[in-house]
Structure 1
Amino acid sequence: MTVVRALARPLLSMIFVAQGVNSIRNPEPLVPKAQPVTDRLVPMVKNVAPAQIADRIPETTVNLVRLNGVVQVLGGLALASGKGRRAGAAVLATTLIPVTVAGHPFWQVKDKDARSAQRIQFMKNLGLFGGLLLAAVDTEGKPGVAWRATHGARAAKRETKRGAKAAKREAKQLAREAKQAARIAKAELNLG
């Protein structure tokens, strides 16, 4: 791991761990902003999620805020520690979407200064989202799973062709040897 990655990951994850802990300990101040988003999002998720998961999704916004906090803490720790860093970054990016829409709806704010402040926070979250997307796809210079799968398939195809050609050569050689053995046997029968 490079020095840049060793510094960047904890720095990027720090806000999520801190906000996640805050959401777990004190969710009530976040509920009014989260309520409109959870009222729309929870029924949609429950409709598409398997029954085992849908039944476990909390109904109250307070519990949803706490659950989001837990996910942010776990994702932040995964990203910061490097253990499950790509999955942690992807999870954090996913949690950031409803948080941004609920927390910074600048399009609904009437006051010009307040709207400007909310727009800045919204764009800051978009920047964090971009950083998380980069962290989610960062393979540290090693080939990703998709590349390895494609490369492995090509190598297998190449080896299969080589094996087929070798088998064809062997079959021709065996056929020649069988013909020669038959000629020798026939010649011996004619002499005998």
Structure 2
Amino acid sequence: MFSFLARSAISSIFVFGGQAAMREPGGRTAMVEKTGRAVGVELDENEAATLVKLNGAVMAGAGATFALGILPRVSAAALIGSLVPTTLAGHAFWEEKDPAARKGQLTQFLKNAAIVGGLALVLFGGGKRDSAA
């Protein structure tokens, strides 16, 4: 029962955020376009919206399967794979000039890094003590 509750708590942000991105890509498309340009890929608004919706579908779907304990390691890998680019594109604190905005983006970046760490423990069977510890 505890594992289900823990997985559900982790999954909630993915299911909620993923379905929101699928329904309304909104300002996320501009972030995707900007990130694409930064890596040399030009995307129009429709292509960026499609990527946002696809990422949202991965988050919502993998979040649901993770919560239910269906292939939890595969689900965790999919969630990590969707969260890393989302974090880099959406919470680029290093680009913020305003101190308050920078602090807010840094907080969101670190929150996502913590979630990736928790998912990595599931993916790699962590939680066991390292032999060097």
Please state which band the TM-score falls in when normalised by the shorter chain: 0.7 to 0.9
Counterpart pick for 2:52 among 36, 50, 65: 65
SS in structure 2 at match of 1:28: coil
Q: How many residues align?
A: 124
- The higher-RCO structure (CA 8 Å, 6+ apart) is 2
Counterpart pick for 1:23 among 7, 21, 30: 21
Q: Which runs of 5+ in 1 are unaligned?
A: 44-58, 142-192
**Normalization by structure 2: what TM-score?**
0.84
Counterpart pick for 2:9 among 11, 34, 46: 11
Deviation at 1:33, TM superposition (A): 1.4
Q: Report the Cα distance in structure 2 between the residues aligned to 1:39 and 1:81, rounded to whole angstroms.
A: 38
Is 2:105 aligned against 1:107?
no
SS in structure 2 at match of 1:110: coil
Within 5 Å, give how 1:110-189 maps onto structure 2: 110-138=97-125
Q: Which runs of 5+ in 2 are unaligned?
A: 129-133
SS in structure 1 at match of 2:27: helix
How large is the RMSD of aligned CA atoms in angstroms?
Answer: 2.2
- Counterpart of 2:4, as a letter, is A
Given that 1:37 and 1:98 are in contact with CA atoms closer than 8 Å, whether structure 2 keeps it comes out as no
**Normalization by structure 1: what TM-score?**
0.59
The structure with the larger Rg is 1
Larger helix share, 1 or 2: 1
- Counterpart of 2:77, as a letter, is A
Deviation at 1:37, TM superposition (A): 2.3
Question: 93-102 or 26-35, which moves further after superposition?
Answer: 26-35
- Counterpart of 1:95, as a letter, is S
> How big is each residue's C-alpha offset from its partner over 1:127-176, in whole Å with a ceiling of 9 and x where there is no partner?
0110111122239x9xxxxxxxxxxxxxxxxxxxxxxxxxxxxxxxxxxx
Counterpart pick for 1:37 among 35, 41, 45: 35
Deviation at 1:78, TM superposition (A): 1.1
> How big is each residue's C-alpha offset from its partner over 1:89-147, in whole Å with a ceiling of 9 and x where there is no partner?
111011111100111000000001110111111000100110111122239x9xxxxxx
Is 2:64 aligned against 1:77?
yes
Percent identity, aligned pairs only, is 36
Q: Which runs of 4+ in 1 moved over 4 A?
A: 39-43
Given that 1:68 and 1:95 are in contact with CA atoms closer than 8 Å, whether structure 2 keeps it comes out as yes
